[in-house]
Structure 1
Amino acid sequence: MAHVSVEERRPQLVSAAIALMKREGAHAASTRAVAAELGVAQATVHYVFGSKEEMYRAVIMKLTDDLVAYVQAVDVPEFPDFEQCLAVLVNRLWQSLLDDPYAHLLLTELSVLALRSPTLKALVEDHRMVVDHVTGSLIRTTAGRAGVELLNDPILVAQFFLAGFDGMTQQHLAAPHPEAERWRVESLISATTVLAIGTPLQRSVPSVREADPLT
C-alpha cells in the first residue's frame, strides 16, 4: 500500500470523524471508530492527531471554517435598505441550518464538551471570537452597502444576533416549526436592525396556537 503523508491523511480523518459524529453523535468518535470509518489502522489516528482531544480540535476548526466560508460566500446586495441587505445574510445562515442540521448539532455538542476541557475551552473561545468578528464585518459591510451609519459597535450587534440565532437553532433541532421559525427569523432581523441603525420595524405576531406545535 502506498504511503500517505500526514498532511494528506489528516483531512481524510477529519472528514471521517465528522461523518461518524453527525450520524452517531460526538460521544461515538473514539479513535477506533474513526479509524474504522476511514478503513485505516487505529494507530494511524493516534499518529496523525496524538490524542482524541486534538481530533476534536480539528473537527471544531473544520466545522467553523466551513460555516464561515458558507456565509462569506454570499454576495451582499447593494439595496438602499439595511434590513433587506441583512435579510439576505440571515437567510443564507438559516439555510445552512436547514441544509445540514447535523453539522450545527455536532458543533453544539462539541462546544459543550470542550467547555469541560481546559485545553479545548480556549478553542471554543477562539471559535466564538472568529464568528463574532466575521458576523460583525458582514454587518459593517451591509451598512456600507445600504448607505447607513451604524449606531452601535458591529461586534456587539453581531453578538446579540448570534445569541438569538443560537437559540433559534436549538429550537429548530428540538422541535422544528416552519411557520413559527419564519416569524422568529424575521423578528431577529428586525431587532438586529433596530440595534444597528435604530429603525423600528413592525412585525405581525403569530398567535400562541400558531407558533406552538403542541397546542
Structure 2
Amino acid sequence: MTRMPLATRRRQLTEAAIRAMTRDGVPRTTTRSIAAEAGVSLSVFHYCFDSKAALLESVITTITDHYVGVVAEALRPRATLRETIRAGFGAYWDHVCAHPGEHMLTYELTQYALRTPGFEALARRQHERYAEIYQELIEQLRSSMSLDLSVPVPVLARYLASVTDGLTLNFLVLGQDEAVSATILDMITDQVAALVGEVSPHPAGG
C-alpha cells in the first residue's frame, strides 16, 4: 500500500465516508465499510481516526468546505452590493442543486448526533460552525466593501445560517422549482442587502 501523509489519508477516508453515508445512510455505514470504500485496511482507518465522533466531525467539516470555497469566491466585489450578495447565495444554491446527497447527509448527521448518547456535542459543534462560516463570509464582504451593518455580525450570521438551512431542507423535501427558488433568493438578497447596506459617503465639509 502506498504510504501517504496522515492528513492526506484522513482526507481520503473522509471522502469515502461521505460517499458511503450518502449512499447507505449514517446508521448503516460502519468503519469497515468506509475502509472498504477507501480501499484501505481497517487498521489504517483506526490509525487515522481514534473515534467515530472524530470521523463524523471530519465529515461535517469537509462537506462544509466543499461549498464554502465557491461561495467565498463568488463574493468578490461586483458592480453593486446587491449583485455581490446575490452571487454568493447563487453559488451556495448551485452547490445544493448539484450535490443534494451531501446536503441531505448534513441533516442526517444532526439527527444521528442528537439521538445518539455521547454525540450531542457534535450536533452543537456542527451548527456553531455554520454560524462561524457566515461570520467569516460577512467579514470578507466587510473588508472588501464599506458596509453599515444594522445588526451585530454574530446575530446576522446565525440568521443567515437559519435561513439557508431551512431553504435547503425545503428543496430536499419539495424538489426544485427554479422560478420559486430564484424569487426566494432574490427576497433574501434584498433583505440582507438592507441589513448590511453600504456606508454613504459624508457630504463635503460635513
Shift of 1:48: 1.8
1:148 deviates by: 5.0
Superposition deviation, residue 46 in structure 1:
2.2
One-letter amino acid of the structure 2 residue matched with residue 135 of structure 1: L
User: For the Cα contact (< 8 Å) 2:131–2:154, is it kept in 1?
Assistant: no
Task: Determine the structure 1 residue equivalent to 2:98.
Answer: 99
2:24 matches 1:24: yes
Could you give the per-residue CA deviations for residues 64-100 of structure 1, whole angstroms, max 9, x where no partner exists?
2222222112252332x32222111111111111121
Aligned to 1:212: none
Q: Secondary structure of the residue that 1:197 maps to in structure 2? A: coil
- Between the aligned partners of 2:174 and 2:61, the Cα distance in structure 1 is 27
2:55 alignment partner in structure 1: 55
Paired residue for 1:110?
109
Aligned to 2:202: none
Q: Which runs of 5 or more residues in structure 1 are unaligned?
A: 199-215
Please give the TM-score of this superposition, normalised by the length of structure 2: 0.81
- Distance of 2:64 and 2:181 partners within structure 1: 23
Note the C-alpha offset of 1:51: 1.9
SS at match of 1:152: coil
Cα deviation for residue 18 of structure 1 reads: 1.0
- 1:171 is aligned to 2:170: yes
For 1:82 and 1:7, the matched residues in 2 are separated by: 38
Q: How far is the alpha carbon of 1:174 from its aligned partner?
A: 0.8
1:90 partner letter: F
Letter matched to residue 11 of structure 1: R
- RMSD of the TM alignment (CA)? 2.4
AA partner of residue 133 (structure 1): Q
1:194 aligns with 2:185: no
**Could you say which residue in structure 1 is the equivalent of 2:137?**
135
Contiguous gaps of at least 5 residues in structure 2: 199-206
> What letter matches 1:6 in structure 2?
L
Give the partner amino acid of 2:138. G
1:46 and 1:2 map into 2 onto residues whose CA distance is 17
Query: What TM-score, normalized by structure 1, do the two folds share?
Result: 0.78
Q: Which has the higher contact order (CA 8 A, sep 6+)?
A: 2
CA distance in 1, matches of 2:127, 2:100: 22
Determine the structure 2 residue equivalent to 1:89: 88
